[in-house]
Chain A
């Protein structure tokens, strides 16, 4: 399950947001504070998460405080799925 989420998120971020399918994302890469994802693209990430994993992520949660890395994001999704 976790692997599926990681793969889904990685594919979405590398192909749709940073548009570099050749890139690999480490679980601890800072996505927001590291300058990979900006506020405009965070909305797309939230929409993708809602559609794909069936959990709600509100706009007000889209910031580095709620999650900044892939592993934090996976934990957020998993905690809402259960």
Chain B
């Protein structure tokens, strides 16, 4: 009963918070405090809501925003899957090979600092102008923070667990799957969260700079709206990005967290 009450309270806090933000937005939009062309640069919620519907019904040049979202999600999920699998593989190998660990740790430290967009000219020369360029940038956004979290998680696995696993006859991959991964679960979930956020942002940024019109994504849509001064449509698209982010956060990542680290008593 108490748990249900606390859950309702947390929902209420968020609803009130969002309503307050909306009230502030509307106040700023309607007060005209941003100058005579306030309506153009800071549209009201009503204009944004109308633009939201228009984005899906009419879209841009006859292409609905749905098409842009589907294209972006395909690239994002592909990049995310490759990034996560690679992070698991490389971090896993790092735990069984000292030399590989030193090299991979150093690589993560270097690559995590490089913004994907800065690599764009090199990536185009290597991969050509294809959708794979965006996938590469998403993998780049996910792989390094995810690997850093996993390496930290594996390194902090209590030695006694590892020794116990070895005494039970676990070696190589079985040791990683049976001991390291469960012990580092909270780090892995945290890596997933930051990896997802980095991938989402990386995707939008890459699409804003590098837009393939035959396979247009959300970033290109935002860019087209900016270029045409369709600010209400642009803000409505940002709203779509937020909604997708919230769905993934609460619909996918939270259940994963509940089924793993919370169930195992590793976090509150």
> A and B, one complex?
no
> Interface on B for A, CB 8 Å cutoff?
none
